Amino acid sequence: MKAYRFLSEDDTADFCHKVTEALSKGWELYGDPTYSFDAARGVMRCGQAVVKEVDAEYSREIKLGQL
């Protein structure tokens, strides 16, 4: 099964660390990163989709961050 996650965070080093951690666990980048302004909080937000091929059957109970 191919698992999909969308990682998001404020535009800080924390976002880069979140993506780097996913890559170190075998996830691969999927598409380009996205940026959006959160007007309510006055900050930029970043997002990046990642995918990973795993040996499992899909279930809504799967904890994607633990794959």
Give pLDDT tens digits for 22-66. Answer: 999 999 999 999 999 999 999 999 999 999 999 999 999 999 888
- Specify if 31 maps to a domain: yes
- Specify if 63 maps to a domain: no
> How is residue 61 annotated by DSSP?
T
- Specify if 64 maps to a domain: no
C-alpha triplet 42, 33, 7: angle, nearest 5°: 75
Report the C-alpha gap between 57 and 15 in whole angstroms: 29
The confidence score (pLDDT) of residue 51 equals 98
Report how many domains make up the chain.
Answer: 1
What is the average pLDDT across 1-13? 97
- Specify if 48 maps to a domain: yes
* Domain boundaries, position 54: 2-58
- Specify if 19 maps to a domain: yes
- Specify if 29 maps to a domain: yes
Please give the model's pTM, rounded to 2 decimal places. Answer: 0.88
Beta bridge partners of 47: 8, 34
The confidence score (pLDDT) of residue 24 equals 97
Report the C-alpha gap between 26 and 17 in whole angstroms: 14
